[in-house]
Structure 1
Amino acid sequence: MTELEKYRDQIDAIDRKIVRLFHERMQVVEKVADYKIKSGKSVFDSQREQQKIRTLGELCENDFEKRAVVEIFEQIMAISRKKQYQLLTENGVTLPVDYASTEKLHFHNARVVFQGVEGAYSFEAMKTFFDDSIETAHVSTWREAMELLARHEMDFGVLPIENSTAGSVSDIYDLLLHYHNYIVGEQTIKIDHMLMALPGTRMEDIRTVYSHPQGLAQCSPWLDKNHPEWTRRQVLNTAMAAEKVAREGRRDQAAIASRSAAEYFGLQILQEGGMSAEKNSTRFIILSARRCFVKGARKISICFGLPHACGTLYNILSHFIFNGLNMFKIESRPIPDRPFEYRFFIDFEGNLADPAVKNALRGIQAEAVDLRLLGNY
């Protein structure tokens, strides 16, 4: 046996001891959980954990080992909490969830609001998701749509939240925080941008092109290459750009919008195809002021803040790993009046009735700041 092999044997023996001791520790953790179930005491005691970690760190002989021991025991304690959350759920100690479960969404004769005008992509998303019985209304801004839902003047709203090429619509995340409306569904629409103008307009006539900021961003490579001299102007909606060009009747103006917008406003399509990415699509969320989820829902959206400390996001994300939950997306938004601090928005796979979801949400609620459930859909 070489000298290296002897060292490896020593490490193997020590590791087996560590595993046995870890098992013993977890058995005690189960007893702690049993006590907390009976007493109603909270699982997470941040002050106690930090004091214990500092004490253990002081036992080390150098700074490197101190940092290592702190990291090891932060993870051991996080694992212990997850075990306690699991046992609480198994013993029927669950979090109250004020969401009503339903077999399906009821939207026959519902009042539905979308931002923009007829011919907008949000209009297409609405027509795709709902049936023909609905009563529709349109508004100029996303905030107006949220207001109508919050006041129960409309039953559902349709708003864009993410584009496959331009990314997230950050303003929608901010509005989700401001209004207590809830995601009850989603609809993805293929985005096929087209350049349109008054009938008889030539490319050389155009001086200004209008569209929503996302539309301009998605078509910027084509514009940069073919018509960098055009002035680009933002409007609230792609269909509003088409409506503006049709209403003002100027041949030096064009719009970037959908084919249906061109047809609705009587505009001529000057360029179709190749203006944006081939696989360009936008995900729209369906919102309601009513807290509900269908029994077959498989996606959950949440948001939360975190203490401004090392490792807090890592610890939160570990709740998804330990409970076998697939995370689809994470987004951060700055917290007003708290410079360089952020709230996090996460979409993950699951249903509120799933035990794994209950375990994860219990842990996140205990360890994050102001957890909000935005919807199960």
Structure 2
Amino acid sequence: MSIKVAIQGIKGCFHEEAAYKYFGEDIETVECESFKKTCELLKQGRVDYVVMAIENSIAGGLLPNHSLLRDYRFPIVGEVYLHIKLHLLVSPGVTIQDIKFVESHPIALQQCSDYLEENPQFKITEGEDTAGSAKKVSELQLKDTAAVANQLSAKLYGLEILERRIETNKKNYTRFLILAAKTDEKSNVNKASLSFQTGNGVGALSKVLLCFAEQNINLSRIQSMPVLGKRNEYDFYVDVEWNDQADYEAAIRRVLKLTNNFNIMGEYVKNDKV
């Protein structure tokens, strides 16, 4: 029986593409209208994994998803990076002269701003989902509307790619986390996601970061979020990478003495191939 993976969005979306890249295509993806719904399905045992976007090379960290990580506390068991490539999709036979409307998710439209500005004849329409816009063009057999979406959507909904790679920034990457209900035992882990709080004194955070540096641990990411209901207090989310497991363990022992509410959110194999 194939594993079930919850995704935010409909089939053909970037979350499904990320799921296929990580697990292979012999899986069952479960559509969810929100990231919270993906977590609820995992909590209820109705899926095996969740694929959740956590940061984008252009837009930065997705703070609401950090809140879900904090609230649900599912272990992070993996990661996958996806090169975001956006295309102009149309019904078969439609030409550029036929297009009056272009529809997609607001962020996708924003990421194609240069192309859209070069084509002021298009009226821009915001949709809820890149893949959803492609599905709409296909199901309604629209001849005057194009969707901005990925190649997977074109294949899935029988659309033609009229213009390729219309995104403004060609180096646009999104990192997705793989969440599970329980930790996957792996022997070759070399990356971890951690969260903690520090005191509000001078140099409190720098002392923690120095522990990692002195143990040869690479700090690949840091993100802060205010602690709910507390003034001037923050949760820090960091990703660390190492070559020697003993160095990592020594750093953790040192950091524990300097932090509050320390949590290892997941230890997994680094996977930054795009």
Q: Same fold (TM over 0.5)?
A: yes
Distance of aligned partners of 1:224 and 1:330 in 2 relative to their CA distance in 1, 3 Å threshold: farther
Query: CA–CA distance in 2 between the matches of 1:250 and 1:210?
Result: 14
Q: Which residue of 2 aligns with 1:50?
A: none
After superposition, the Cα gap between the structure-2 partners of 1:134 and 1:227, relative to the gap in structure 1 and judged at 3 Å, is same
C-alpha distance in structure 2 between counterparts of 1:153 and 1:330, whole Å: 32
Counterpart-to-counterpart distance in 2, 1:306 and 1:317 = 11
Q: Contact 1:180–1:289 (CA<8 Å) still a contact in 2?
A: no
For residues 226 and 33 of structure 2, the distance between their equivalents in structure 1, rounded to whole angstroms, comes to: 25
Deviations 1:39-60 (A, max 9, x none): xxxxxxxxxxxxxxxxxxxxxx
Cα 1:220–1:363 change in 2 (3 A) is: farther
The match for 2:264 is 373
Distance 1:162 1:247, change over 3 A: same
Q: Name the TM-score, length of structure 2 as normaliser.
A: 0.85
For 1:210, which of 104, 110, 134 is the aligned residue?
A: 104
Change (3 A) 1:198 1:334: farther
1:159 maps to 52
Is 2:66 aligned against 1:173?
yes
Q: CA deviation at 1:154?
A: 1.3
TM-score (norm 1): 0.64
Mark the CA change 1:247 to 1:171 in structure 2 (over 3 Å): closer, same or farther.
farther
Q: 2-side partners of 1:270 and 1:334: how far apart? A: 45
CA drift at 1:226: 3.7
User: Which of 357-366 and 181-190 deviates more?
Assistant: 357-366
Measured in 2, the distance between the counterparts of 1:195 and 1:227 equals 15
Q: Conserved in 2, the CA contact under 8 Å of 1:331 and 1:346?
A: yes
Q: Which of the pair has the greater relative contact order for Cα pairs under 8 Å at 6+ separation? A: 2
> Which whole-Å CA distance do the structure 2 matches of 1:360 and 1:234 have between them?
46
| SS of structure 1 residue aligned to 2:21 | helix
Amino acid at match of 2:104: Y
Structure 1 counterpart of 2:271 = none
Cα distance, 1:266 vs structure 2 = 2.4
Q: Which amino acid aligns with 1:319?
A: C
Once the two structures are superposed, what CA deviation does each residue of 1:92-134 show, in whole Å capped at 9, x if it has no partner?
Answer: xxxxxxxxxxxxxxxx732222222222122122122214543
SS in 2 for 1:146: helix
Dislocated runs of 4+, deviation >4 Å: 248-252
More strand per residue? 2
Equivalence map 1:288-303=2 (5 Å): 288-303=180-195
Larger radius of gyration between Structure 1 and Structure 2? 1
Matched, 1:347 2:223: no
- In structure 2, C-alpha distance between the alignment counterparts of 1:174 and 1:368, rounded to whole Å: 19
What residue ranges of structure 2 are gaps of 5+ in the alignment?
269-274
Question: How far apart are 1:340 and its partner, in Å?
Answer: 5.1
From the superposition, tell whether residues 207 and 366 of structure 1 become closer, same or farther in structure 2 (CA, over 3 Å).
same
The one-letter code matched in structure 2 to 1:327 is L
The one-letter code sitting in structure 1 at the alignment partner of 2:112 is: C
1:257 CA drift (Å): 0.8
| Deviation for aligned residue 1:317 | 0.8
Corresponding residue number in structure 2 for 1:49: none
Residue identity over aligned pairs, in percent, reads: 31
Superposed displacement of residue 228, structure 1: 8.8
1:278-307 Cα shifts (integer Å, max 9, x gaps): 222222211101023411111110112222
Q: Distance in 2 between matches of 1:365 and 1:224?
A: 52
1:190 Cα deviation (Å)?
2.0
2:126 aligned with 1:233: yes
For each residue in 1:340-373, what CA deviation from the matched residue of structure 2 results, as whole angstroms up to 9, or x when unmatched? 543211111138x922222222232232221121
Query: CA offsets per residue over residues 139-173 of structure 1, 9 Å max, x none?
Result: 22211111111222211111222222332222221
> Do the aligned partners of 1:293 and 1:376 also contact (CA within 8 Å) in 2?
no
Secondary structure of the corresponding residue to residue 242 of structure 1: helix
Code of the residue aligned with 1:192 in structure 2: it is: K
Residue in 1 aligned with 2:76?
183
Give me the whole-angstrom Cα distance separating, in 2, the residues matched to 1:289 and 1:243: 32
Aligned to 2:272: none
RMSD: 2.6
Is residue 301–residue 348 contact of structure 1 (8 Å, CA) maintained in 2?
A: yes
The answer for the alignment partner of 1:22 in structure 2 is none
Equivalent pairs, count: 267
User: Residue 171 of structure 2 aligns with which residue?
Assistant: 279
Aligned residue for 1:321?
A: 213
